[in-house]
Amino acid sequence: MPRGEIIEYIDVAQVTLYAFWVFFACLIFYLRREDKREGYPLESERSGEITVRGFPLAPSPKTFRLAHGGTVTVPRGPDTREIRAVPVADWPGAPLEPTGNPMLDGVGPASYAQRADVPDMTIDGRPAIVPMRLATECSVDPEDPDPRGMIVIGADRARAGIVSDAWIDRTEPQIRYLEVEVPAAGGAKRVLLPITMARINSRRREVRVKAILASQFADVPALANPAQVTKLEEDRITGYYAGGTLYATPGRPESWL
């Protein structure tokens, strides 16, 4: 019998290959279970009594200890928030039609996750995203336009407000939001504008926003603390602007053809 053979038709190389196949299959099974910690079980539109789990089944709950205190357990329970929209037809998968203000109700592109209502933290325990008036160690590069003091123009080409400050991410570092002072009932209000939704024109000293109208800036979800933004507030704010790309005007949800 040649060296390396176990029996006449099996050798060490074959055993190693089979072992790798078994390991790889187990790895795929494990990863497929782990990725079901979010979003499962699925809910069926045919009946509220039906849940869709698929194969393999979702894993048992696991609790993680967070770096700055507290815990989180996944999978979580079902999302019990009210869906403020109704299907336009009776068949499963029919589009939803909003019943209120979809930009504030979290419908369609304005939807957001129910994240923790605490700020994202740096490794040394400080809020990660703060206004530059507090992050005095940061500054705008002299070769880049400084958005502070620029006029904000909405999708209707009307003046929405003025940039009062920029919010920086200490962990990157880069500008995440622009703080915009806008007129509102009862006086001026300061709201956040995601930098990804803004187009800065340094020559004209303008910040243009195509997502929402100038009058809609007053309804941007406000911050509980003017010096920090929580994860939940971030999702609600970005969801508001994302919702505006579809719902800001009556004509946007309509077909182009």
C-alpha 215/C-alpha 213 separation (Å) is 5
Instruction: For 225-249, write each residue's pLDDT tens digit.
Output: 999 999 999 999 999 999 999 999 9
Report helix, strand or coil for 102. Answer: helix
**pLDDT confidence of residue 186:** 80
Question: Does residue 52 lie in a domain region?
Answer: no
Does residue 180 lie in a domain region?
A: yes
Residue 74 domain-assigned? Answer: no
Mean pLDDT by 10 residues, the chain (257 residues): 62 89 97 88 71 83 85 80 86 84 90 88 89 89 91 95 94 92 88 95 94 94 93 95 93 81
For residue 53, tell me if it sits in a domain.
Answer: no
242 domain residue, yes or no: yes
CATH classification of the domain holding 185: 3.90.50.10
Please give the Cα distance from 36 to 54 (Å, whole number).
10
Token pair in block for residue 120: 């994202």
Amino acid 187: pLDDT: 82
pLDDT exceeding 70 applies to what percent of the chain? 94
C-alpha angle 76/79/85, rounded to 5°?
160
Q: Is residue 106 part of a domain?
A: no
- What is d(CA 81, CA 177) in angstroms, rounded to the nearest whole number? 28
Tell me the per-residue pLDDT of 35-75, one tens digit each, with 9 for 90 and over.
988 888 777 766 666 677 788 888 888 998 888 778 888 88
Give the structural domain span for 13. Answer: 5-34
Count structural domains, the chain. 2
**What whole-number distance in Å separates Cα of residue 106 and Cα of residue 110?**
5
Q: What is the distance between the alpha carbons of residues 177 and 241, in angstroms, rounded to a whole number? A: 12
Do residues 28 and 133 share a domain? no
Q: Which residues pair with 63 in a beta bridge?
A: 73
Q: What is the pLDDT of residue 37?
A: 87
In a domain, residue 110? The reply is no
- Helix, strand, or coil (residue 142): coil
State how far the Cα of 38 lies from the Cα of 109, in Å rounded to an integer: 19
Is the whole model's pTM more than 0.75, yes or no? yes
What are the C-alpha distances in Å from 244 to residues 83, 106, 108, 185, 204?
A: 18, 11, 10, 21, 25
Q: What share of the chain is helix, strand, coil (3-state, %, to 5)?
A: 20, 25, 50
Residue 183 lies in a domain: yes
Q: What is the dihedral of CA 98, 100, 104, 106, to 10 degrees?
A: -30
